[in-house]
Amino acid sequence: MPLPSWLGPEPDEPLLDMVLAGQTLPGDAPQGIVTMADGLANLAAPAGPGELPGEAAALTAFKRSVSPGSLSAVAGTAGTRRRRVAAGGRVRLAAVLAAVGVVLGGTAAAYAGALPAPVQELAHHVLGAPAARHSSDGHPRTPPSHAARTGRQPGERGRGPLENAAPHGIAKNAHSAHPGKPVRQRHGGHGRNPKKSSRLNR
Amino acid sequence: MLGPAFPATLADAQGGDELAFAAIFRDVQPVLLRYLHVIAPAAAEDVAAETWLQVVAGLTGFSGEERAFRAWLFTIARHRAADWGRARGRRPTVPLVDSGAIEMLLAPDTADVVIERISTRAVLSALATLPRDQGEIIMLRVVAGLDAADVARIVGKSSGAVRVAAHRGLRRLADVVDRSGVTL
């Protein structure tokens, strides 16, 4: 039974703090604590046989997240709120958008910036198509992060949306000033495969 | 933990390097599964899979060093486990005497015939019998390698409360070991 706190710290507290900190226990530590610490240290050991289930699924999800045209990748470029949208929700939203795009002249219309402004804006945020409004010099308003990713300046033409370019020289965006916390996705997003960004430079 | 290799590995993974991501996965997954076996034993692999989906989705947005990455990942895992728990009802606690943990400690592990050691499975079973906060805090502190401040943030307690819960849990574990008579 633990001692009342007014009697001061328990005699084993320094040893328990060492266990918590992963420190080596002194030679005169009670055997029970030593064996327990050893058992806990084993739990931090690398994977044993059969201890990596789920690797294939995780890698598949990762590959999809970096593949061109993937919904999760494109959604990830468009803001923290979209990151929270369930995969099913993104699929449904993209399906609706694709349907609208087909009605209005095809999804290529979205990438050509040819859709009505509200729909074009939606396509911009979900599919990475150009934003509805353009800058005064006539070039599409390209977020700085896309230029950083692609090495191309706004207005420079890239490849079309259906062409597959090998990823190369992916530049990374600056990250949050708050280390350790997930960054709120800025408009235009993060360093990604330049294949996707090429769709924006029209 | 990956240690000095983590920053470059993370950067490569964020750039789409599958091998880099695989390295991070293989480093974290064993610890993640063991943690989930304590807080969500019936669905550890499912919850781990959901955790990685969310990690993948947010990977490029993460910024920080390795401990911060683990704190972020285990926060996600805890939330996914909580969702699972809410969906399936409260997990019944198993009294230590009924958990089989003591028997496991006494029975020789198939991989440790010559040297009697506490097997991973036995330790996990013993941890799973502790009050939820004690077992979880011990896993996060000792096994996942998170510092006290990170653990306090993840579980929503003060650093002092985390320390008290951890000590109580460790004493109970040490008691189990003593009763089992297992030695190094």
CB contact under 8 A, A30 and B118: no
Quote the minimal CA–CA distance from A35 to chain B in Å. Answer: 7
Same domain, B101 and B77: no
Same domain, B84 and B15: yes
Tell me which amino acid residue B52 is. Answer: W
pLDDT tens for each residue of A65-75: 987 665 544 44
Same domain, B64 and B21: yes
Query: What's the whole-number average pLDDT of chain A?
Result: 61
CA B93 to chain centre: 18
Q: Tell me the pLDDT band of A192, cut-offs 50, 70 and 90.
A: very low
Q: Which of B88, B122, B145 is a domain's end point?
A: B88
Would you state the pLDDT for residue B167?
95
b/e per residue B7-37 (b: at least 16 CB within 10 A): eebbebbbbbbeebbbbbbbbbbbbbbbbbb
Nearest to A40 among B123, B168, B171 (CB): B123
pLDDT tens for each residue of B106-146: 444 433 333 334 577 778 888 888 898 999 999 999 999 99
Same domain, B81 and B100: no
H/E stretch holding A200 reads: none
Q: Which of B88, B112, B140 is a domain's end point?
A: B88
Question: Which residues of chain B does A49 touch, with a Cβ-Cβ cutoff of 8 Å?
Answer: none
Tell me which amino acid residue A134 is. Answer: H
Same domain, B84 and B7: yes
Which residues constitute the domain of residue B17? 3-88
Chain B residue with CA closest to A81: the answer is: B58
In this model, does residue A148 exceed pLDDT 80?
Answer: no
Interatomic CA distance for residues B41 and B22, integer angstroms: 24
Chain B residue with CA closest to A176: the answer is: B63
Q: Tell me the pLDDT band of A132, cut-offs 50, 70 and 90.
A: low
Specify the CATH number for the domain of residue B12. Answer: 1.10.1740.10
For A6-46, the DSSP string reads: GG-S-TTHHHHHHHHTTPPPPTTS-HHHHHHHHHHHHHTSP
pLDDT tens for each residue of A47-97: 777 668 899 999 999 999 987 665 544 444 444 444 444 445 555 555 555
Domain count for chain B: 2
What mean pLDDT do residues A171-193 have?
Answer: 43
Mean pLDDT is lowest, of A41-45, B45-49, B59-63, for A41-45
Closest CA to A133 of A144, A143, A146, A145: A143
pTM to 2 decimal places? 0.59
Same domain, B71 and B105: no
Same domain, B110 and B144: yes
Interatomic CA distance for residues B152 and A17, integer angstroms: 15
Question: Which residues of chain B does A47 touch, with a Cβ-Cβ cutoff of 8 Å?
Answer: 26, 29-30
Q: Which of B67, B88, B109 is a domain's end point?
A: B88
Interatomic CA distance for residues B8 and B130, integer angstroms: 38
